[in-house]
Amino acid sequence: MKLRTLLVSVGALALGHVAHAQSWQLVWADEFNGSISPDWVFETGGGGWGNNELEYYRKENATVENGNLVITARKEDFGGYHYTSARMTTQGTHAWKYGRMEARIKLPATLGTWPGWWMLGNNISGVGWPASGETDIMEQIDNGNTVYGSVHWQAANGSQADYSNNMVTTPTDYHVYAVEWDQDSIKWFVDGRQYNAFTITNGVGNTQAFQNPFFLLLNMAVGGNWPGFTIDDASLPAKMYVDYVRVYQKGTPTSIQIEAENYAAMSGVQTEPCSEGGQDVGWIDANDWIVWNVNIPVAGTYTVQYRVASLNGGGVIQLEKAGGSPVYGSIAVPSTGGWQNWTTISHQVTLPAGQQQIAVKALAGGYNIDWLKITN
C-alpha cells in the first residue's frame, strides 16, 4: 500500500501448489457481528502518508452493516481534502509472527478507489519503511478485475525491493483473501487457490524483516500514486465490505495418550491384562461408559485414535463430554479376530479447550480398549 516502483521478481517459488491441511488454530478474529473490535486503531489524517492519496481518513467512514465492516469512500470535504475514507490497523494492539491471515472481502471496483488488506512490520516506528517489511495480502485499483499480492522490503544496498504477483477474479463478489506465512515462505491465496509465493528462508535476499511480527491494516484509498488521480465521483459513495478478519497460527503439536484403564469413572466395564502390556478395559456392553480426565491445550479439531480389539466386531464407540452432551463423534469397531488382537481406529472430532472429562459410551458393545490418543 506504500510506495510502489517497478516490481522485481526475487525468490519466487514454483506456483500451482494446492493448499494442504495444516493444524491452524484460530488466534484472533473480528467477525464484525454488530460492532468493530476495539483492537482496531483508526488512523486519521490526509494524503495516505506517502502515497499522495486524495482522501482524509476518518473513523466515521467505518461502520458495521449486516455483520460486515463497511469502509465507505465519500466525496466530502474534510480537513482540506475533497474525499473521506477509513484506515484501521492493529498496530499497538496485536501483531503476529507467521500465521494464516484471511479476510472475506467484497470491493466496489470503481475508478479511483484503492482498497487494501495488508500488514506492516511491527517495528516500523523504530526502523522505518521499507526496512520494517510490508505484506500486501490483497490490493486492487480502479475498476480492474485483477487483485495483487505483494511484499516490499529493504534491499541490502538500502533501496526498496518489491515482489508481486496477481490474479484475475471478480472483485465485486465476496472472496477470501489470505496469506500463509512461515519461516520459509509467504503464499497468497484467493478462495483457497494459491497464486503467488515468496521465499524468505534464512533472510534470503535481505528479507529478514519477514521473520518479525506484523500488524494488520484495512483501508480504502481514493486516488494516489498507483490508481492515479481520476476519480469517478458519480460512483461515490463506494463501499468495501469485510465479512471477517481471522488470524490463525500453527498449533503447538499435541499428543496425549491415555491408558484406558486409568479412567476417572466408569459403568459396567472391567480391566484385564493386555497382550500389549499393562491392562485394557473389557467387558464393554451397550450403554456402558468410561470417563477420563484430559487437558486439551487449544480448542480445535483433533484426531482421536483408539487401540481396540474385538472378536466379532459390531461395536460402536461414541465419544462425548462426560454426562453425555455434547457428543463429539462416533466410530464403528471392526472385528480384529480376537479379544487380544489389537488394531488402531481413529476419527476427527472438535474438542473444547481446558481441563475436562471426556467419555466413551458404547452405543454397541463387544470390544476392548487398550488406550486412546488425542493428536492435532
| Residue closer to Ca ion (CB basis): 103 or 349 | 103
Q: How far is the CB of 9 from Ca ion (least distance, A)?
A: 36
Choose, from 53, 55, 76, 134, the residue flagged as catalytic.
134
Which stretch, 63-71, 144-152, 197-205, 315-323, contacts Ca ion (CB under 5 A)?
Answer: 63-71
In angstroms, what is the minimal distance from the CB of 262 to Ca ion? 8
Shortest Å, Cβ 244 to Ca ion: 5
Site string for Ca ion, 167-206 (x = CB under 5 A): ----------------------------------------
Contact 288, 263 (CB under 8 A): no
Among 177, 259, 317, 367, binds Ca ion (CB under 5 A): 259
273 binds Ca ion (CB under 5 A): no
**43 catalytically annotated:** no
**Least distance from Ca ion to the Cβ atom of residue 308, Å:** 11
**Complex with Ca ion: residue 37 or 52, whichever CB lies closer:** 37
From the list 29-37, 147-155, 160-168, 192-200, the region that binds Ca ion by CB under 5 A is 29-37
List binders of Ca ion among 71-130 (CB under 5 A). Answer: none
232 binds Ca ion, rule: CB under 5 A = no
Binder to Ca ion among 243, 327, 341, 345 (CB under 5 A)?
Answer: 243
Contacting residue, 143, 244, 256, 335, with Ca ion by CB under 5 A: 244
134 classed as catalytic: yes
Which of 278, 337, 338, 354 binds Ca ion (CB under 5 A)? It is 278
Three-state SS for the chain is CCCCCCCCCCCECCCCCECCCCCEEEEEEECCCCCCCCCCEEECEECCCCCCCCEEECHHHEEEECCEEEEEEEEEEECCEEEEECEEECCCCCCECCEEEEEEEECCCCCCEEEEEEEEECCHHHHCCCCCCEEEEEECCCCCCEEEEEEEEECCCCCEEEEEEEEECCCCCCEEEEEEECCCEEEEEECCEEEEEEECHHHHHHCHHHHCCEEEEEEEEECECCCECCCCHHHCCEEEEEEEEEEEEECCCCEEEEECCCCCEEECCEEEECCCCCEEEECCCCCCEEEEEEEECCCEEEEEEEEEEECCCCEEEEEEECCCCCEEEEEEECCCCEEEEEEEEEEEEEECCEEEEEEEEEEECCCEEEEEEEEC
Q: Residue with the closest Cβ to Ca ion?
A: 67
Q: Find the binder of Ca ion among 24, 28, 32, 81 (CB under 5 A).
A: 32
Q: How far is the CB of 68 from Ca ion (least distance, A)?
A: 6
Q: Which residues are part of the catalytic machinery?
A: 134, 139
Chain contacts with Ca ion (rule: CB under 5 A) = 31-32, 67, 243-244, 259, 278, 280, 370-371
